[in-house]
Each structure stands twice: as C-alpha cells, then as structure tokens.
Amino acid sequence: MKTIKVLVVDDSAMMRRVIKEILQTDNEIEVIGVARDGEDALKKDVELHPDVITMDINMPVMDGLTAMLRIFEHHPEVQVIMLSSLTQNGALTTFEALELGAFDYVGKPSGTVSRDLHVVGKELIAKIKAAALSKKRRRPKLSKPFPVKKSDITDFKNVNKVVVIGVSTGGPGTLMDILPELPADLDAGIIVVQHMPPLFTASFAKRLNDNCQIPFKEAAAGERVIQGQGMVAPGGVHLVVKKNNAGECMVRLTHLPEGKLFTPSVDVAMCSIVEIFGRRTIGVLLTGMGSDGADGMVAIRQAGGMTIAEDESTAVVFGMPRAAIERGGAAVIAPSYTIATEIIKAVNRIQ
C-alpha cells in the first residue's frame, strides 16, 4: 500500500513532536520529515518531495504563507494544510493562504503551541487524506464585476426567495470564485453555511462583504432574512429560519439537534429554510468531505425548489456534491465558475 508522505513544519519542537505522534497513529500516513521554519521547509521539500505539508503560519526566519508560495514555485502539485491559531488575525491569514492555494486548514485549539492538539487529530488526518486524493486544480476566473455602492440595509425588502449554500473543505476559495459574481440587485436572500470554527466566521463574512456586490455579515439570532443581503452561519451553532408572529422570516441559532458531525450543519439549515420557502428555495452544494447537505438538497428538490451541485471537475473534494447527486438531490451539476450564472438563472426562474 502506498503511504501518504507528509512533511511537518512548525517552529515549536513540542508541536512537531505532537503532530508527528498524531499522524503516526494512521498506517496510511508516513511522516518523512520535520522542519523548524519556512526556510527549513523549502530545503526539506526539495530533499523529500512530500505529498502533503502541514504548515504552521507564524514562524521566525520565514513565515508559513511565504514558505507555501515559495514551495509552489518548484513543487506546484504538493498540497498544503495550514495550522492556524483560532484568532481574528489567524483567520485573516488563513483565508489569504486558502485563496493563494492552500488545500485547507486546521485550527490549533489553544493557541500557537497547543498541547491539546490531539482533539483535532482526526480532523487533521482526514484532511491530509483528502488532500492526497485531491487533484490540484486551477479554476478559470471570471472577470470581477464593476464595483458598486452597496445599498443601506434599510433599503432592502422582505425576502420571498432564499439561496442557501452549503460548503466545507475548499470552501473559502470556491465561494470567492462565486459570490462576487452575484449582482447587487439579486432578488433573493443568501445564507452561506460553511463548516468553520466560531472565531473564523465573522472574519470570513467581512472578507466576503469587502469583495462582493451583495453585503454580507455573520448571522445573528433574531435578524430578518432580507432580500439582497448575504449571511454567513456562525460557527459552533446551527442556523435555522423561523417565522415570527408578523410573518417575517427570522434567524434562530440553536445547539439542537445534537450529535451532528458539523455545527453549523448544512442539512439543518436547508431543511428549516425549505420548510418555510418551499419551491422558492435554491439549494447549492459545493466542495466538501462527507455528505452534509445531501438530504437537504433532496428535500429542496422534492418541494419543487431549484438545486445546484458543484461538478467533480472543479470540486476540491467531491464528497458533499457527490452524495447529493447520488441521492437525486441535484437538478443542475456545474463547475464552480458557472455556478453564479446558474444561481441567477434559478432566482429569475422562480416567480
């Protein structure tokens, strides 16, 4: 059996040891070397030619982001998983790394030196395996829309159509391909459910807001779902939509149901939204491991709504879209660079 060759890069000797111990628990992974900083990582990559690199972000001599870009110059097919601190600064650097080619990230639970890294050990192993299986793809880029001034939030009308987008591994980069292409006057509200830690979602929503024609924010309990506004489900809780006594569609945040593999769950959000909007729901399922969102897509399609799944040709990980397609939940299957167009067509088709 061919093992996955991994290079571990971290400036902390303890972290290098802990990461190596975690990875050695899986017989499909072989840690072929460790590096103490970005400059050392460049040398070790040339010597060892790994399949996957786990890369710390904050390091002396050369930081992880710079090292990743330098490594890609001579070893473009290698996959890099960033290990980042769960802070606002960590989030911003992580998103930049993802947009520049990192496969995914794993958050260090308790700071730069996390003695409890074992709590995310299964996640790290799963992402290394997914990275090794994934082909390195360049998505065709559409030209960005001409910047427009976002309307003040009080200008927006109550919503009668909702686009709900589910995404996981590879999501931030894919969403940045799609959401900036949506026009400011889109006749629908948008809810994005991205598997992401709690401290990352607010920063990600701000990044989307800075790059999209439609305003985006992190969803908060009690907010109305509004036409022409985008919301990102906060990490650590499920987002559901309920109607209040005035008939307005409101965001609710809950820890129920318990036992879901991901919080926020795409299935939980999609099923609550289609319960209210029925055929006026557009479900979109993008790259990600597992099957979260597949049942929600089936429910939307059965209710007469529109469903769009990302095609394997662009999906960083073809897990979630594949599950939706196999269960009959995808009416349209499209590469990421045409999904914005498919969303606009679906919204305009619904009267």
Q: Which residues contact 82 (CB under 8 A, 6 or more apart)?
A: 55, 56, 57, 64, 68, 94, 97, 98, 102, 104, 105, 106
The whole-angstrom separation of Cα 269 and Cα 266 is: 5
Instruction: Find all residues with CB under 8 Å of 19, minimum gap 6, and list them.
Output: 8, 10, 31, 54, 83, 117, 124
pLDDT for residue 135:
67
Residue 75 class from Cβ within 10 Å (0-12 exposed, 13-18 middle, 19+ buried)? Answer: middle
pLDDT of residue 63: 94
Write the pLDDT tens digit of every residue in 99-119.
Answer: 888 999 998 865 555 556 777
pLDDT of residue 115: 59
Instruction: Catalytic residue, from 51, 56, 292, 295: name it.
Output: 292
In the predicted model, what is the mean pLDDT of the chain? 90
- Is pLDDT larger for residue 284 or for residue 143? 284
Please give the pLDDT value at position 117. Answer: 76
Tell me whether the omega of the peptide bond preceding residue 257 falls within 30 degrees of 0, making it cis. yes
Model confidence pLDDT, tens digit, residues 14-26: 999 999 999 999 9
Model confidence over 260-271: pLDDT tens digits? 989 999 999 999
Asked if 313 and 333 count as a contact pair (C-beta separation under 8 A), the reply is no
Active-site hit among 51, 195, 291, 295 = 195
DSSP state of 242: E
The confidence score (pLDDT) of residue 112 equals 58
What is the rounded CA–CA span in Å between residue 170 and residue 55?
Answer: 16
Distance CA 192, CA 203 (A): 14
63 contacts 83 by C-beta, under 8 angstroms: no
Alpha-carbon gap, residue 351 to 26, rounded angstroms: 52
Question: Mutual orientation of helices 121-133 and 13-23 as an angle, nearest 10°?
Answer: 70
pLDDT band at 329 (very low <50, low <70, confident <90, very high): very high
pLDDT at 138: 47
Beta strands of 160-294 (E only): which ranges? 162-167, 189-194, 216-218, 230-232, 238-243, 249-254, 281-285
Which one of the listed residues 168, 265, 291, 336 is annotated catalytic?
168
What is the pLDDT, as a whole number, of residue 298? Answer: 98
User: What is the rounded CA–CA span in Å between residue 14 and residue 23?
Assistant: 14
Q: What is the pLDDT of residue 134?
A: 85
- What's the pLDDT tens digit per position in 81-105? 999 876 677 788 888 898 888 999 9
Report helix, strand and coil shares of the chain as percent, to nearest 5.
40, 20, 40
For the chain, how big is the Rg over CA atoms in Å?
A: 20
What does the pLDDT read at residue 139? 45
Q: Is the distance from CB of 322 to CB of 312 less than 8 angstroms?
A: yes
Beta bridge partners of residue 240, listed in sequence order: 252
Catalytic, 292? Answer yes
pLDDT, residue 137, reads 53
pLDDT tens, position by position, 188-235: 999 999 999 888 999 999 999 999 999 999 999 999 999 999 999 999
Q: How far apart are CA 197 and CA 106, in angstroms?
A: 9
Residue 246 pLDDT class (50, 70, 90 cuts): confident
| Whole-angstrom distance, CA of residue 139 vs CA of residue 130 | 18
DSSP reduced 3-state for 27: coil
81 SS3 class: strand
pLDDT at 336 over 70: yes
pLDDT tens digits, residue range 26-62? Answer: 999 999 999 999 999 999 999 999 999 999 998 999 9
Whether 168 sits among the annotated catalytic residues: the reply is: yes
pLDDT, tens only, 136-190: 554 444 444 444 445 444 444 568 999 999 999 989 989 999 999 999 999 999 9
Which of the pair, 243 or 148, is modelled with greater confidence?
Answer: 243
What pTM value is reported for the model? Answer: 0.88
| Catalytic residue flag (residue 104) | no
DSSP alpha helix (H) spans, 158-265? 171-178, 198-211
Query: Which residue type, as a one-letter code, is found at position 76?
Result: P
Q: What single-letter amino acid sits at 303? A: A
Domains delineated in the chain: 4-133 (3.40.50.2300), 153-349 (3.40.50.180)
CB 38 within 8 A of CB 72: no
